[in-house]
A and B are shown apart, each in its own frame.
Chain A
C-alpha cells in the first residue's frame, strides 16, 4: 500500500523549532520529488518546500532561510526542520509525492499524507 504518514506537529512558542517527519511506504523517498504543503486554518493550500530525487531543494519565499527539507534514505523518511517559527506558520502540514520525478508519468501530487498540525502560539 502506498502511504505517507506525517508526525511531529504540536504547539510551539514563537521563535521555537520543530521537526516534522514523513514516513513513506510504497514510495521510495529518494527516488521521488517530495514536497511539503501547508494549509493555515480556513485558508488555501500553500506549497512550502520540495526535495528532488537528485538532491535539489526548493523553498517558498515565506520559509526560506528558516526551514530545511531533508531525507533519510535508509529509513525512507522525509523531514522538515522548522526554525524561528512564527504565528503565521500555524497550519496543517502535508507531505506529498509529485510524479514529476518519474519517467513516463503525468505530473501531479498523487500521494498525500493525512497531515500534522503545527500551532505557533505563546
Chain B
C-alpha cells in the first residue's frame, strides 16, 4: 500500500502569511492527489484535486502543485477562516491513503 507522509504536523501562522504544506508519497502516484480542509466537527471538504485543480468555490489563495511523489499545498495569504486541519489523500490506487494531517493554528 502507498504511504503518504505529510509535513508539518502543525503550523502556527498569522493572518496574511503564506504557508506551505507538503505530502510525499512512498511511490509515484502521477497527480492523483487531493487536498482537504477539515474544521472541527465538520466533514472534510475537497479543496484541490489532481494535485493542482481548484474546486469550484474555493478561493484562489489556495493552490497545489506537484506530481509523482512530491506535492505541496500553498495558501498565499492566510485568512481567519483558513485556520483548520488539512489532509492530503492519494487515490491513485486502492487502498487509498491519507496524510497524517496538518493543523494550522493562529499565531
Q: Once the chains are docked, how many angstroms separate the CA of A60 from the CA of B95?
A: 7
A106 touches B98 (CB 8 A): no
> For A115, what are the chain B residues with a Cβ–Cβ distance below 8 Å?
43
Chain A, range 64-88, C-beta contacts under 8 Å to B: none
Query: A58, B98: Cβ atoms under 8 Å?
Result: no
Residues of A within 8 A of B53 (CB): 106
Determine if B69 is an interface residue (Cβ-Cβ < 8 Å). no
Q: Count B interface residues, CB 8 Å.
A: 26
Counting CB contacts under 8 A, is A44 at the interface?
yes
Beyond known contacts A106-B50, A108-B89, A109-B91: 4 more, CB 8 A cutoff = A44-B85, A45-B44, A50-B96, A108-B46
Number of A-B contacts (CB under 8 A): 70
Say whether B91 contacts A98, CB under 8 Å: yes
Query: Interface on B for A, CB 8 Å cutoff?
Result: 1, 32, 34, 36, 38, 43-46, 49-50, 53, 55, 85, 87, 89, 91-92, 94-101
Interface size class of A (residues with CB under 8 A): 20 to 34
Taking Cβ atoms with an 8 Å cutoff, the residues of A that contact B are 35, 37, 44-47, 50, 52, 58-61, 94, 96, 98-100, 106-110, 112-115
Q: A113 CA to B42 CA in the complex, in Å?
A: 9
Decide: A58 and B87 in contact? CB cutoff 8 A: no
User: Which listed residue, B1, B32, B100, touches A44 by the CB 8 Å rule?
Assistant: B100
Do B46 and A46 touch across chains, with their CB atoms under 8 A apart? no
9 shortest interchain CB distances as A-B pairs = A108-B49, A106-B50, A112-B43, A108-B34, A106-B49, A44-B101, A58-B94, A45-B98, A110-B46
Are B34 and A50 neighbours in the complex by a CB distance under 8 Å? Answer: no
- A/B interface sample: 15 pairs, CB < 8 A: A44-B99, A44-B100, A45-B36, A45-B38, A45-B44, A45-B89, A47-B89, A47-B98, A100-B32, A106-B49, A107-B34, A107-B49, A108-B89, A114-B43, A115-B43
